[in-house]
Amino acid sequence: MQLSKFPRATLAHLPTPLEYMPRLSEHLGGPDIYVKRDDCTGLASGGNKTRKLEFSMGEALALGADTIITVGAIQSNHVRQTAAAACKLGLACEVMLEHRVQQPSDTYSNSGNVFLDRIYGANLHEYPAGTDFDAVMAEIADEVSSKGGTPYYIPGGASNAVGALGYVQCGVELLSQCEQQNLAFDHIVTATGSAGTHAGLAVGLRGSGSDLPILGFGVNAPQDVQEERVFKLAVETADLVSAPGCVTRDDIVADCNYIGSGYGEPTESMNEAILMLARQEGLLFDPVYSGKALAGMIDYIRKDRFSKGQKIVFLHTGGSAGLFAYSDSLRT
């Protein structure tokens, strides 16, 4: 695998810390639980998109782009980090925001991530769920070009092979931290949505010869759809880093039983998980992704699917800015 040949913008604080969570581990009475702190990537209050954007933005700059176009839900963490990265690099940012949540509260529509998008001065366009974003994107790109600009499109979650390189690098970084700290994990757990994190991680680990099992907790799609999405992107990413075939279909495992009624819709177990991590470890998780993945991990421990004597690492993908958008619906 060769990552150094890809253009890259410097955006993230790396390496992110790898920390033990003693109080949570004791509280749950199961495995030793560690956290990989990708909530601490630094930009715009942190999160996993910043690692991906180092490569997406690197390519945009290499191609001479001056305007980024991207897409996400109203409370998209990806959009927030993209808007901030565009500011840092002196690029304009056009955003297509999709209304994906049923009957959003006023807070959901205006606080949290979308509030920060406005602070970053991103040009926000809002659309109903199910909009054909390829068509809208083409229109926006035409408009940018007609004014003499050079657009660069970053897909939702920066989840194409270029963006996934950020998580190939994260996999490599984690292995080197394990070596330094003399740690061997039995499992890595992450939230999985637009798939770039899960796919990149799989390539980073398998491409480095690690067989560490990866479990993704899904946040929107059913298991078969999510696993196929991740696998397809992992194959493309493995090809891009000249490690074709390093990830097999069996490497990709997603559990999509903790979504509740839909993407971004609160669940009781997510609410419990967020309060538990805050009160045991002082950490902030998010209602849409990391909170639901934590709920899954906690349930696995309670059901003894992860057990005493094992070591688990949870990849904290960030998103705490989204908490503020859910202040009406989260029980404290």
Ligand X SMILES: *Cc1c(COP(=O)(O)O)cnc(C)c1O
Nearer Cβ to ligand X (111/144): 111
Applying CB under 6 A, which of residues 32, 255, 281, 286 lies at the interface with ligand X? 286
Chain residues 27-86 in contact with ligand X, contact rule CB under 6 A: 47-48, 77-78
Residue position matching structure tokens 């479990």: 215
Burial class (CB in 10 A: 0-12, 13-18, 19+), 69: buried
| Cα–Cα distance, 259 to 292 (Å, whole number) | 7
Which window, 2-10, 18-26, 118-126, 193-201, contacts ligand X (CB under 6 A)? 193-201
- Measured CA to CA in angstroms, residue 244 lies from 7, 8, 23, 199, 241 at distances of 21, 22, 41, 13, 8
Applying CB under 6 A, which of residues 192, 220, 237, 271 lies at the interface with ligand X? 192
Residue position matching structure tokens 């782009």: 65
Chain residues 133-162 in contact with ligand X, contact rule CB under 6 A: 157, 159
Q: Mask 117-136, x = binds ligand X (CB under 6 A)?
A: --------------------
* CB contact at 8 A, 64 and 150: yes
Nearer Cβ to ligand X (166/207): 166
Nearer Cβ to ligand X (67/75): 75
Phi and psi at 41, nearest 5°, equal -75, -10
Rounded least distance, CB 320 to ligand X, Å: 8
Applying CB under 6 A, which of residues 30, 112, 171, 196 lies at the interface with ligand X? 196
Which window, 97-105, 138-146, 188-196, 300-308, contacts ligand X (CB under 6 A)? 188-196
* CB contact at 8 A, 205 and 247: no
Applying CB under 6 A, which of residues 85, 169, 318, 326 lies at the interface with ligand X? 318
* CB contact at 8 A, 44 and 83: yes
* Interaction between residue 113 and ligand X (CB under 6 A): no
Catalytically annotated residue among 45, 56, 76, 194: 76
Cis peptide upstream of residue 151 (ω within 30 degrees of 0): no
> What's CA 119's distance to the chain center, in Å?
22
Query: Residue 127: CB partners within 8 Å, gap ≥ 6?
Result: 96, 97, 98, 99, 133, 136
| Cα–Cα distance, 217 to 296 (Å, whole number) | 7
| Cα–Cα distance, 238 to 310 (Å, whole number) | 29
Nearer Cβ to ligand X (144/318): 318
Nearer Cβ to ligand X (51/187): 51
127: its two tokens: 């659309």
Which window, 27-35, 53-61, 87-95, 285-293, contacts ligand X (CB under 6 A)? 285-293
Phi and psi at 75, nearest 5°, equal -100, 35
Nearer Cβ to ligand X (185/285): 285
Chain residues 209-248 in contact with ligand X, contact rule CB under 6 A: none
Number of residues binding to ligand X, judged by CB under 6 A: 20
Q: DSSP assignment of 44-67, as one string?
A: GG--THHHHHHHHHHHHHHTT--E
Applying CB under 6 A, which of residues 21, 91, 191, 246 lies at the interface with ligand X? 191
Rounded least distance, CB 309 to ligand X, Å: 28
* CB contact at 8 A, 98 and 318: no
Residue 76: active-site member: yes
Which window, 62-70, 117-125, 245-253, 312-320, contacts ligand X (CB under 6 A)? 312-320
Point out the residues that are catalytic. Answer: 76
Q: Report the interface residues with ligand X, using CB under 6 A.
A: 47-48, 77-78, 157, 159, 191-198, 286, 289-290, 317-319
